[in-house]
Structure 1
Amino acid sequence: MFYQRALWFLLTSIISCFSGYSSAQSILFPVENYPPYITIDTTTHVVSGMDIRIVKAAFESVGINASFEAEQWQEILQGIQTGKFVGTVSCARRPERAPYMLFSDEVSTSSRVLISRPDFSSDQIESIYDLSQYRITSVAKWDMEQQLTQLNIPHSTVQSISQGLELIMAQKADAFYVSSYPALHQARQMGLQKSIKVTSLVAEPLVPLHVCFSKANPESKDLLQAFNQGLKIIKHNGTFQAIRDEYL
């Protein structure tokens, strides 16, 4: 009990280290629709979702107000490279991003799966290398599509999860290589949850997702440190798990 109290005192006292941010500091993150991690209402443009709430709560615990707005993924990456944007949310660590990004502690994880029609035979598929003999599609510029490109695995690209699901239903592709939770969420939205098959790739580990900060932005290092401390605080006080429980 003594050590728990000491840890809590240490975490909460750290807030004072970021007092320069408090009332005056607000940051804006551009994000792309990626439910349930990030959900953007197409009518109101309100941004919500599991990771959005976690990030907002972590920053609030150290006196920083974080807000979010919708943006295209390629625009986000370009803005982070130049320092126009301070960073983004639900971003995976990749070697090609390391030269221009800083990565926070883990916020959540994503699993990579194949979405197909129920009659698609996937018994022989265990790793991504087994996909070369099939008609595979993936969302352009997302981590999974970049992985296919780097491994020289032939594939087509779509611009959104909904387009990928439509391609599968139209039998224009054998399988859709995509992140599990966002794909299943979109399938439910389209009424396709009973018309698809999900195949896990045994050799593909869970992918950690982070808040990714721009190395070109002068505020990034301080904000990264502040966020990581805030994340520790909300994990300790139960807020982190309470938010996750609502979605998962």
Structure 2
Amino acid sequence: MIAKSLFKLSSCSVALMISLILGTNSHAATMTFSVVDYPPYILVDEKNNRISGMDVDIVKAAFASQGQEVSFNVLPWKRIVKSMELGLILGTVSCSKRASRDAFMLFSEPLSNVSRSIVSRTSLDTSQVQELSDLSKFSIVTVDGWGMQKKLIENELEHQSAPDLDSAIKAVMYRDVDLLYMAEYPARYSIKKLDIEEDLKVTSLINEPSLPLHLCISRDFPNATDILRTANKGLYTIKENGLLDEIRAKYLSHN
């Protein structure tokens, strides 16, 4: 009996420590989502300690419509996924739904969509590239650990990987790599930022379906189901009042 009481006390102490470290996630407290730089959906400005972006603004607006504050911090993507699997963090933004994640993630209604595309030098003829299988004729690079790499692996397409999007684009620009397989909007944003729009082009894969991006919540995090319900209610609210379209237009109208 004493042993059981000590065990319960120990468990409560661990829960309290986690709550203090990560922040409580009751409706009254600020909830924190962990993210990676994924322009234009998530924009991380380390110099000014600022996190913004289309999906970040959508998530903020959705929860704000329900009287809930949210914040964001930056972690490496692999750590985010592993921490969600263990129930150590609340969740992340701009995450795709896949079977391997169903066991430990809950998915909101879509925040936005990703259209698959390729980045190449402007001089390369890509007129015959319309679907994923067409990439087999070229040397390919993608970003390590991102959904696009998973797709290449599933289709047994040989490729190189880069640690981040800017490095992958530079591989096409300066190394002997034909194509970067990447989501359209992040690719365009990064090319513009690097000021190499005249040297590289982005070609949509017209036969590849777009991929919805979600707010993803760890199933084992406290109140996960309630948080998901609040998120979906908020997304419905800002869709109905037009704020969702305003946020998207702010980031995507230039395209």
- With normalisation by structure 2, the TM-score equals 0.86
Q: Distance in 1 between matches of 2:219 and 2:95?
A: 15
Deviation at 1:123, TM superposition (A): 2.0
Q: 1:192 aligns with which of 190, 193, 196?
A: 196
Length, aligned pairs only: 228
Question: Which of 195, 208, 213 lines up with 1:204 in the alignment?
Answer: 208
Partner of 1:50: 54
SS of 1:148's equivalent?
Answer: helix
Query: 1:47 offset after TM fit, Å?
Result: 0.3
Q: Deviations over 1:27-57 (max 9, x none)?
A: 1001000111110102022100111111011
Q: Any idea what SS the aligned residue of 1:47 has?
A: strand
RMSD over aligned CA atoms reads 1.3
- 2:22 corresponding residue in structure 1: none
Give the distance between the partners of 1:77 and 1:110, measured in 2 at CA: 20
Retained in 2: the 8 A contact 1:114–1:177? yes
Whole-angstrom CA distance in 2 between matches of 1:179 and 1:129: 16
How far off is 1:155 after superposition?
0.4
Give the one of 155, 165, 178 matched to 2:182. Answer: 178
Deviation at 1:21, TM superposition (A): 4.8
How many angstroms does 1:189 deviate by?
0.9
Counterpart position of 1:3 = none
Q: What is the aligned partner in structure 2 of residue 236 from structure 1?
A: 240
Q: CA–CA distance in 2 between the matches of 1:55 and 1:83?
A: 20
1:169-225 Cα distance to aligned partner (Å, 9 max, x none)? 113210000111111111111111111111111221111110011112132111000
5 Å-filtered alignment, 1:146-157, equals 146-157=150-161
Compute the displacement of 1:109 (Å). 0.7
TM-score by length of 1: 0.89
* Contact 1:21-1:63 at 8 Å conserved across structures: no
- Residue number in structure 2 paired with 1:110: 114
Which runs of at least 4 in structure 1 moved beyond 3 Å after TM superposition? Answer: none
| Residues 168 and 174, structure 1, Cα contact 8 Å, conserved in 2 | yes
Task: Give the secondary-structure state (helix, strand or coil) at the position aligned to 1:99.
Answer: coil
Identity %: 37
Equivalents in 2 of 1:204, 1:95: separation in Å?
Answer: 19
Q: Is the 2:92–2:217 contact (alpha carbons within 8 Å) kept by the matching residues of 1? A: yes
Please say if 1:89 is aligned against 2:93.
yes
More deviation, 233-242/143-152? 233-242
Segments of structure 1 that go 5 or more residues without pairing to the other structure are 1-19
Q: Partner of 2:134 in structure 1?
A: 130
Q: For 1:76-105, what per-residue CA distance to the aligned partner results, in whole angstroms no more than 9, with x for missing partners?
A: 111111111111001111121112111100
Please tell me whether the aligned partners of residues 119 and 203 of structure 2 are also in contact (alpha carbons under 8 angstroms): yes
Matched residue type, 2:89: F
Structure 2: gaps of 5 or more residues: 1-24
Provide the C-alpha distance between the structure 2 equivalents of 1:131 and 1:167, rounded to a whole number of angstroms. Answer: 16
